[in-house]
Chain A
Amino acid sequence: MLLICGTIPRDDLTIVTGEAKFDGDKLIAGDTEISCTQGTAALVSAACVVATHYQAPAPQVIFAGDTGNGQGSRLLYDYLSKNLPRINPDILLMHYILPVMGLMKRVCEAADKCARKPVMMADASAMYAAKAAGLAGRFDIFTPDLSEMEFLADAEAIHPAYISHHLFRAEIARIDELITAAYLQKSMAKTVVVKGAIDHVVQDGKITYTLDRPDLPQLEAIGGTGDTISGMIGAFIAAGFSHYDAAIKALKANRKAGEYAKATPATKVREIIAAIPLALNHN
C-alpha cells in the first residue's frame, strides 16, 4: 500500500484519512474534496492516475489542513508517530509539512516499528526535515530540484533559503560535484531523482541516468510539475516497478504529459496531470 502524507492549504481540516481518487479535475480524499493545485494535492492526483493505469490499489492518504502556521503539520507528525506501525504501509511518501527535525525523527522511529520497514520517500519540506535532522540515510528516495540539490550539498544548511552563496551558482555542469558533496556528508537517500532541465537519477552517489528530452523549459515555471514526478514514482513502485525503473518512467511520463498538454508558463498543473494517461499509453 502506498501511503502519502502531507498538508493541504485549508484552515477547515484537521486530519483526513482514506483512499484517494482523482476524477480528472478534483481530488477526493476519504469524503473530502480538494482542489488539484500545486503541492501534495498534485502529487496525490498524479499517483492516482498511475495507479488507475496499472489497475493497482488507489493510494491511501493522510492529510492535515495547514496554511503555514504549522499546527496541522504537528497534528500530522503526531498521527504518524502513533499510527504508522498499525497502518504498516509498503511505501511511505512524505511531502509538504513544516520541517521539525525532532518530530521527523519520531516518524522514522515509528516506521522502524512497522512489521516490514516501508520504502521511505520524501520530497519538499519532508525532505528538508530529513536532511536537516541527519536522517537522509534512512530514506530510500529523495526527489529534489536543482536548488534543493544545492541544499543537500550544503553540510550546514537546514533549509534551502540558507544555503551558501557559492553553492547557488550551480550550473548543470557542476551537478556531479553537488552530488558527490551531498553523498560524502550522508545527505542523500539511496536513490535521488534530481528534477530539472536535465533530470538525473542518482543511486548510491553515482549518476545512473539522465533525461533532457522533450526539452520543455516552461515546465519549471508550472507549480506542481515536480510534485507530479514524486507522486508517480511512488505509484510506479506500488505497481511493482524497481526504484530505478519507477524514477525513469515518472520522468519520461512527466515530460511527455507536458508535451501533450502543450504546456506554456501559464498552464496549470491539473492540465499536465490530465495528460498523464496519454503519456503513459505512449511511455
Chain B
Amino acid sequence: MFFKRKKEQGRFAGGGLVLFQSVEEAIAAEKVLQAHGYEVKLVAPPPQLRKGCDLAVEFNIVEKAGVERLLRQKDKHYAEMLPVKGAGELLDVVKVTYFNDACMVKAGNMKLTFDKNTGVILNISGGGCPDIPFLHISMLDKKLTEVDRPKDKGHTLCALMLDRAFVGALEIFANKGVR
C-alpha cells in the first residue's frame, strides 16, 4: 500500500496535500514532482479533506508556488491543493499605506512599495523564504507593468503572498494611485 510507506525519519516536511479525482492522476503527479527534486509521498488524505479519490500527494506546503507551477506546466490535473492543518486558504487580507508619492501594499507577511506616478517598484519587504531576496533583486527599480508575476518566478508561500501584494499594487497603479 502506497500510503503505508514509512516516512523517512526526520527529513520529510509535508504539511500540504494535493487532492485528485483519480488514483492515476495522483501517481502521475508524484512521479513528475519527484523527477524535479521535490520531496513528496503518496498518502491517504484525512476523511474531511477527501475530494475525489482516496490518494493524495503530500508535499512541503511552503513550496506551494513551485509545485502548482510544475503541475500546471506538465498538464497534471488535480482537484485542490491545501494545508493539512490550520486555515484552508491563503490569507487574503490586503492593507494599503500611502507615503506621499509612494504606496505600500501589504499581503500577509509581504509588502511591496511602488511609486504611484511611475509604477516603479521602490522596495519589497517582509517575508522569509529563500526566493524573496531573489525576487527582490529581480523586481526592484523596475515598473510593475514590466516584471513577471512573483508566482511565476517564485517557489514558496512567501512568493504567493508577494504575488497578492503585486496584484493589489497593479490595480492601484491602474486606478491612478487610488484603491
Which residues of A pack against B, CB within 8 Å? 7-9, 35, 37-41, 66-73, 95-103, 105-106, 123-128, 132, 145, 147-148, 151, 154, 156-165, 168-169, 217-218, 220-226, 264-268
Residues of A near B90 (CB, < 8 A) are 161-162
| CB of B136, distance to nearest CB on chain A (Å) | 5
Query: At the interface, yes or no: B45 with Cβ under 8 Å from chain A?
Result: no
B62-93 vs A: 1/0 string, CB under 8 Å?
Answer: 11001000000000000000010111001111
Q: Which of B11, B91, B131, B157 has its CB near the most chain A CB atoms (within 10 A)?
A: B91
Nearest opposing residue in chain A for B84, CB measure: A158
Q: For B129, list chain A residues within 8 Å (CB).
A: 68, 96, 98-99, 124-125, 128
CB B115 to nearest CB in A, in angstroms, measures 7
Q: Which residues of B contact A100 (CB under 8 A)?
A: 11, 13, 60
**Nearest CB of A to B4, in Å:** 19
- Residue on A with the closest CB to B133? A39
Q: How far is the CB of B111 from chain A (nearest CB, A)?
A: 6
Cβ of B155 < 8 Å from any Cβ of A? yes
A99's partner among B13, B109, B131, B132 (CB-CB below 8 A) is B13
Q: Are B123 and A9 in contact (CB under 8 A)?
A: no
Q: Nearest Cβ in chain B — how far from A9, in angstroms?
A: 4
* Contact flag A165-B130 (CB < 8 Å), given A100-B60, A221-B125: no
A68–B124 contact, CB under 8 A? no
List chain B residues, Cβ under 8 A from A8. 133
In the bound complex, CA of A163 to CA of B109 (Å): 10
Q: Are A225 and B125 in contact (CB under 8 A)?
A: yes
A68-B130, A148-B109, A266-B102 are contacts. A223–B136 as well, Cβ < 8 Å?
A: yes
User: Cβ of A35: which chain B residues have Cβ within 8 Å of it?
Assistant: 137
Q: Which of A73, A147, A162 contacts B87 (CB 8 A)?
A: A162
Least Cβ–Cβ distance between A79 and chain B, in angstroms? 15
Q: Contact at B160–A9, with CB atoms within 8 Å? A: no
0 or 1 for each of B101-138: is its CB under 8 Å from A? (1 = yes): 01010101101010100000011111111111111110
Interface residue total, chain B, C-beta cutoff 8 A: 54
Does B15 have its Cβ within 8 Å of any Cβ on chain A? yes
Asked if B161 CB lies within 8 Å of chain A CBs, one says yes
Does the CB pair A266–B122 fall under 8 Å? yes
| Contact between B123 and A96, CB atoms less than 8 A apart | no
Task: Decide if B3 is an interface residue (CB 8 Å cutoff).
Answer: no
**A37 and B136 contact, CB distance less than 8 A:** yes
User: Which residues on B sit within 8 Å (CB–CB) of A66?
Assistant: 130
Jot down 28 A-B pairs with beta carbons below 8 A, ordered by A. Answer: A7-B130, A9-B130, A9-B134, A37-B136, A39-B136, A40-B133, A66-B130, A67-B131, A69-B155, A71-B37, A96-B128, A100-B11, A100-B60, A101-B13, A124-B129, A147-B106, A157-B86, A158-B15, A161-B161, A163-B87, A217-B97, A220-B97, A221-B97, A221-B113, A223-B125, A226-B126, A265-B104, A266-B102
Contact A265 B122 (CB under 8 A): yes
Contact between B87 and A96, CB atoms less than 8 A apart: no
CB-CB under 8 A from B56, the residues of chain A are none
Instruction: Please indicate the chain B residues that have their CB under 8 angstroms from the CB of A69 in the complex.
Output: 37, 66, 155
B99 beta carbon closer than 8 Å to chain A: yes
**Which B residues lie within 8 Å of A124 (CB)?**
127-129
B156 contact from A9, A98, A222, Cβ within 8 A: A98
In the assembled complex, the Cα of A223 lies from the Cα of B104 at a distance in Å of: 12
B154 and A103 contact, CB distance less than 8 A: no
Given contacts A95-B128, A96-B132, A168-B93, 5 further A-B contacts (CB under 8 A): A101-B13, A102-B9, A126-B128, A221-B125, A267-B123
